[in-house]
Amino acid sequence: MPVVTREKLEALLATREPPPEPSKKLNGNGRHSALGAYLESAKDDDYPPVMTEELLQKVKDALAVLDPDDTRGGKPKVDLRNPKGTWLRIVLAVASLQSDEAREELRTWCKQSDDKYDEFEFNTAYDSYKSNHASPIRIGTLFKFAEAKTIAQEKNFSPLEILRGMSSTGRSEEMRARMQADIFIIKDMAINGQSTAIYAPPNAGKTLLVIHGLIEQIKAGVIKGGNIFYVNADDHGRGAVDKIEIVEPYGIHMLIPNENGFQSKDLLVLLRAMIEKDEARGQIFVLDTLKKFTDLMDKKQSTEFTKLAREYSAAGGSVIVLAHTNKRRENGQLIVGGTSDIRDDVDCVFVFDPVAERDGVHTIECEMRKCRGDVAAMLSFQYSRQRGQTYAELLDSVKPLDAIQLEFARETEAVRHRLKENAGVIKVIEKHIPANNRLTVPRTKSDLIRHISTDAQIGINKVRQVMDYHEGDNYENGYRWTSVKVGNERTEYKLLTPP
Amino acid sequence: MTAQDDHFQVHPLVEGCQLELRAIRLGKQGFPRCEFFHPDNYQSEQGLKNNFIHRARQLNRSGLTCYTPMNPIRADYVPDPGKGTKAPGILKYRTMMVDVDRTDKLGKKNPATDDELVRAECLAGEISAYLAEREFGLPHKVMSGNGYHLYYPIDLPNNDDTADLIESTLDTLAEKFNTEDVEVDTVVFDAARITKVIGTLAIKGEASEDRPYREVVLCQ
Q: Are residues A221 and A333 in the same domain?
A: yes
Is A233 a member of any domain?
Answer: yes
Looking at the partner chain, which of B154, B163, B168 has a beta carbon nearest the beta carbon of A13?
B168
Enclosing domain of residue A434: 422-495
Is A372 a member of any domain?
Answer: yes
A159 vs A155: CA distance, rounded Å = 8
When pLDDT is averaged across residues A353-381 and rounded to a whole number, the result is 86
Q: Cα–chain-centroid distance for residue A128? A: 49
A10 min Cα distance to partner chain B (Å): 8
Q: Cα–chain-centroid distance for residue A492? A: 59
404-423 of A, contacting B, C-beta below 8 A: 420-421, 423
Most B CBs within 10 Å, among A5, A7, A8, A9, to test the B interface: A9
Residues of B in contact with A423 (CB under 8 A): 81
Residues of A in contact with B137 (CB under 8 A): 1-2, 4
| B153 to chain A: closest CA residue | A3
Q: Are residues A337 and A444 in the same domain?
A: no
User: ipTM value of the model?
Assistant: 0.90
Q: Are residues A108 and A237 in the same domain?
A: no
Query: Among residues A380, A410, A440, which one ends one of the domains?
Result: A410
pLDDT in tens, A82-103: 555 678 888 889 998 989 999 9
Q: Are residues A455 and A427 in the same domain?
A: yes
A4 touching B (Cβ < 8 Å): yes
Domains in chain A, number: 3
Is A14 a member of any domain?
Answer: no
Is A1 a member of any domain?
Answer: no
Residues of A in contact with B96 (CB under 8 A): 4, 9
Cβ burial of A38 (10 Å; 0-12, 13-18, 19+) is buried
Enclosing domain of residue B55: 3-218
Sequence-separated (6 or more) residues with CB below 8 Å from residue A265: A23, A26
Q: Residue A24: pLDDT band by 50, 70, 90 thresholds?
A: very low
Per-residue confidence in pLDDT tens, chain B, 220 aa: 677 788 999 999 998 899 999 988 876 656 788 889 998 888 888 888 888 988 888 888 888 899 999 999 999 998 887 788 999 999 999 999 999 998 877 677 788 888 889 999 999 999 999 999 989 999 999 999 999 999 999 999 999 899 999 999 999 999 999 988 899 999 999 999 999 999 999 998 888 888 999 999 999 7
Is A256 a member of any domain?
Answer: yes
Cβ burial of A273 (10 Å; 0-12, 13-18, 19+) is middle
pLDDT in tens, A380-393: 899 998 888 888 88
Give the CATH number of the domain where residue A380 resides: 3.40.50.300
Q: Are residues A79 and A129 in the same domain?
A: yes
A327 vs A493: CA distance, rounded Å = 43
B169 touching A (Cβ < 8 Å): yes
81-140 of B, contacting A, C-beta below 8 A: 81, 87, 96, 131, 134-140
Is A481 a member of any domain?
Answer: yes
Looking at the partner chain, which of A1, A16, A424 has a beta carbon nearest the beta carbon of B172?
A16
When pLDDT is averaged across residues A133-157 and rounded to a whole number, the result is 74
Question: How much is the pLDDT for B100?
Answer: 94
Residues of B in contact with A11 (CB under 8 A): 134
Give the CATH number of the domain where residue B142 resides: 3.90.920
Q: Are residues A204 and A347 in the same domain?
A: yes
Q: Are residues A121 and A235 in the same domain?
A: no
Most A CBs within 10 Å, among B156, B158, B170, to test the A interface: B156
CB spacing of A4 vs B96 below 8 angstroms: yes
Residues of B in contact with A458 (CB under 8 A): none
Q: Are residues A211 and A107 in the same domain?
A: no
Is A395 a member of any domain?
Answer: yes
Question: How much is the pLDDT for B1?
Answer: 65
Any alpha helices (H) in A171-234, and if so which ranges? 172-178, 206-219
B160 touching A (Cβ < 8 Å): yes
Mean pLDDT of chain A: 80
Q: Are residues A331 and A296 in the same domain?
A: yes
Residue A251 CB: number of other CB atoms within 10 A? 12
Q: Are residues A430 and A402 in the same domain?
A: no
Q: Are residues A404 and A429 in the same domain?
A: no
Domains in chain B, number: 1
B136 min Cα distance to partner chain A (Å): 6
Is A275 a member of any domain?
Answer: yes
Of the listed ranges A217-231, A337-351, B63-77, the least confidently predicted one is: A337-351
Q: Are residues A309 and A427 in the same domain?
A: no
A466 vs A484: CA distance, rounded Å = 18
A481 DSSP 8-state letter: E
CB spacing of B153 vs A4 below 8 angstroms: yes
418-457 of A, contacting B, C-beta below 8 A: 420-421, 423-424
